[in-house]
Structure 1
Amino acid sequence: MYSLYYSPGAASLVVHWLLIELGVPHELRLVDTQAKQQKSPEYLALNPNGVVPTLVADGQPLYEAAALVLHLADRHAASGLAPAVDDPQRGEYLQWVLNLANTLQSPLRLWWYPQDLDAAPPEAVLDGARKRIEATWERLDAHLAARGPYLLGERPSAADFYLTMLMRWTRNMPRPGHDWPHLAALAQRMKQRPSFKALYEREGLTEWA
């Protein structure tokens, strides 16, 4: 049994989605981020970074969304959402998950929280983050055009779940990820999965359905 500490629509979304997709037993523990529950001593004992998600597996708290994506897909290998260690696509799969964490999730955080860089004017942080995000969308769309329809080609992987969550985060940006045609097609395919509908129902989400 897994326990997922989550907040609707936050970085925990991809972990929750994978738990549903994998069909593994789990329980949800809502973290009220508006009330700063993620900064409470009790939560910091689980995740010293004070953010969601945290996944308790076999009594051990684990965190970092990208790491949890990799962990769940590997632990439930029968799902086919992660190439095996000896699969020729294994390196590319790991590359994409870490690339998404570094080139998209990192600047997206700066877009939403420009105050994280105390020394820089917020407008400059926003502009720099937007340019980095849009440049990444451009590269990803070109990759999908040449080698898609998914990041690894014909078969979806856990990396596509992660990418879809990050596209959702940009829905209200000046140019969201789904503004690029091949990214939009991938998002549409991923949103048609029954697990996505279940995810939205459980988290009470409506935007970008």
Structure 2
Amino acid sequence: MYTLYYAPGAASMVVHLALLEAGAPYDLRLVDLDAGAQRDPAYLALNPHGVVPTLVVDGRPLGESSALLMLLAERHPEAGLAPAPGTPGRGAWYAWIAYLASTLMPPFRLWFYPQDLHDTPDVRAAVQRRIEGVWDHLQAHLATQGPHLLGEQFSGADLLLTMLMRWSRNMPRPATQWPALAQLADRVRARPSWRRLYEIEGLREW
């Protein structure tokens, strides 16, 4: 049994999706970010950074969504979240998760929390260009080697990418304006895990 501390639509989303894909038993604990619950001492004892997600695994609280995605894929190989260990696809899978976590998550934080730096129109435009540059790269890859990040094989990396694409939905150029990305998003959003997460977390906007 896992316990996932989450906020609807936040970085906990990919971990929740992975749990649903795996059919693993879990409890959900809402962290109300608007109310500042992430700064509650009881939560900080679990996650000193005061962010979501936190996943309690065998009694031990762990953080970082991309790391938790990899952990769940290893603990539940039957879910097909990752290619088999030792195969070429496994290495590519690790590389894609690391790429998404390092190239998209940091600029998205600056986009949503501009107070973390000296926010000016020029800085905001630079953050937007950085995110859109990643969409350009992913569009080129998916258009020639898709439809998933690993080609024909769906994996947890596609869940992570689709969560990040969702974060762009209110940007001047959302990720779905790139055709191959839009097609991948449609594939992932058609999965039962995505539909079930929307029901559980009460999400409405794509």
Which blocks of at least 5 consecutive residues in structure 2 are unaligned? none
Q: Deviations over 1:46-90 (max 9, x none)?
A: 111110000001000000011011111111011121122201112
The CA distance in 2 between the partners of 1:40 and 1:116, in whole Å, is 21
Following superposition, the deviation at residue 91 of structure 1 comes to 1.5
Q: 1:49 maps to which residue? A: 49
Residue of 112, 128, 137 corresponding to 2:135:
137
The CA distance in 1 between the partners of 2:146 and 2:77, in whole Å, is 22
Q: 1:127 maps to which residue? A: 125
Q: What aligned pairs does 1:11-160 form with structure 2 within 5 A after superposition?
A: 11-117=11-117, 120-160=118-158
The CA distance in 1 between the partners of 2:5 and 2:120, in whole Å, is 30
The CA distance in 1 between the partners of 2:130 and 2:100, in whole Å, is 12
The CA distance in 2 between the partners of 1:111 and 1:39, in whole Å, is 21
The CA distance in 2 between the partners of 1:153 and 1:74, in whole Å, is 20
Q: Deviations over 1:111-139 (max 9, x none)?
A: 0001112xx23433321110000000000
The CA distance in 1 between the partners of 2:38 and 2:131, in whole Å, is 27
Structure 2 length as normaliser, TM-score?
Answer: 0.98
The CA distance in 2 between the partners of 1:121 and 1:32, in whole Å, is 26
The CA distance in 1 between the partners of 2:57 and 2:154, in whole Å, is 25
The CA distance in 1 between the partners of 2:120 and 2:71, in whole Å, is 35
Q: Secondary structure at the match of 1:45?
A: helix
The CA distance in 2 between the partners of 1:194 and 1:90, in whole Å, is 24
Return structure 1 stretches of 4+ with deviation > 3 angstroms.
none
Q: 2:188 maps to which residue? A: 190
Alignment RMSD (CA, Å): 0.9
The CA distance in 2 between the partners of 1:44 and 1:85, in whole Å, is 34
Following superposition, the deviation at residue 97 of structure 1 comes to 0.3
Structure 1 length as normaliser, TM-score?
Answer: 0.96
Contact 1:200 1:206 in 2 (8 A): yes
The CA distance in 2 between the partners of 1:102 and 1:152, in whole Å, is 18
Decide which moves more: 47-56 or 83-92: 83-92
Q: Secondary structure at the match of 1:102?
A: helix
The CA distance in 2 between the partners of 1:98 and 1:122, in whole Å, is 29
Q: Secondary structure at the match of 1:55?
A: strand
Contact 2:54 2:61 in 1 (8 A): yes
The CA distance in 1 between the partners of 2:170 and 2:119, in whole Å, is 22
Among all aligned residue pairs of Structure 1 and Structure 2, give the percentage whose two residues are the same amino acid. 59
The CA distance in 2 between the partners of 1:52 and 1:201, in whole Å, is 20
**CA distance change for structure 1 residues 37 and 122 in 2, over 3 Å: closer, same or farther?**
farther
The CA distance in 1 between the partners of 2:183 and 2:77, in whole Å, is 26
Q: Secondary structure at the match of 2:55?
A: strand
